[in-house]
Amino acid sequence: MKIQVITLFPEMFEGVFNASMLWKAQKDTDVELATVNLRDFGLGPRKTVDDAPYGGGDGMLLMIEPLMNAVNAAKEADPKAKVLLMTPRGDTWRQSVAKQYADAGNGLIIICGRYEGYDERITSVVDQQISIGNYVLTGGEIPAMAVVDSVVRLLPGVLGGETSAEVESFVEDDETVEAPQYTRPAEYNGMEVPEVLLSGNHAEIAQWRAKNAKR
Ligand code: ADE
């Protein structure tokens, strides 16, 4: 799967794409992560990407031409890719949606909004608008990182244990989170690990975990 992120700040992705699971996924599987610098599609000698909104209002908007040209370039590299737009106005990102995109296996083109927003006409080429929650970030970069991470870890061959993505939070119904977990030592500064987890009784442990999973 190829994931292309359209952004004015490609340098923000260097750390995230080159560490831990995302780095390993690129090394060991067919996952390809790339950034597309929106500035390269800016207009005129100053590579302008933004302009004031019609009708007035605060701030600047990303212009339609650089955005559309960047999407077209990304589509050329991966014609079947689905286009996602990061915006607080989008559908809330959830585990089940991440799973749908991972299972579908199409590449993704992720557009990061910036400034006060973007020319709405870009939505004509967007398959889904995505929000990562009801709060406003300065741009779509951090949301895009969350989306990339949550999809890639569900792709075949990415996680170490075969079942690690099956026995974790939100898998069953987008609501239930895993029970608390503990590792050695069994007692730390007077804080003890629940007795049942030390018992070796798998049925009882499963029962305890089910009871302590939280909706
Ligand atoms: N851009 C700014 N805030 C956002 C959010 N909450 N989700 C997605 N994109 C955003």
State in Å: Cα 160 to ligand 1 middle.
30
Indicate whether 125 belongs to any domain.
yes
| Per-residue burial over 138-177, b = 16 or more CB atoms within 10 Å of its CB, e = otherwise | ebbbebbbbbbbbbbbbbeebbeeeeebeeeebbeeeeee
In a domain, residue 196? The reply is no
185, part of any domain: no
Give 88's DSSP letter: E
Does residue 189 fall inside a structural domain?
no
For 28, the domain range is 2-152
Q: How many domains does the chain have?
A: 1
Q: Count CA atoms closer than 13 A to 142's CA, side-chain side.
A: 8
Residue with the smallest CA separation from ligand 1 atom 7 is 131
The answer to whether residue 16 is domain-embedded is yes
Are 101 and 56 within 8 A, CB to CB?
Answer: no
Any domain includes 187: no
The CATH code of the domain that includes 60 is 3.40.1280.10
Asked whether residue 192 is domain-assigned, the answer is: no
Check residue 173 and give its pLDDT. Answer: 82
Q: What is the pLDDT of residue 161?
A: 57
Residue 104 resides in a domain:
yes
Looking at residue 116, what is its pLDDT?
A: 83
135 CA distance to ligand 1 centroid (A)? 7
The pTM for the full model equals 0.94
Full pLDDT tens readout for the chain, 215 residues: 999 999 999 999 999 999 999 999 999 999 999 999 999 999 999 999 999 999 999 999 999 999 999 999 999 999 999 999 999 999 999 999 999 999 999 999 999 997 689 999 999 999 999 999 999 999 999 999 999 999 999 999 998 755 667 768 888 788 889 999 999 999 999 999 999 999 999 999 999 999 999 87
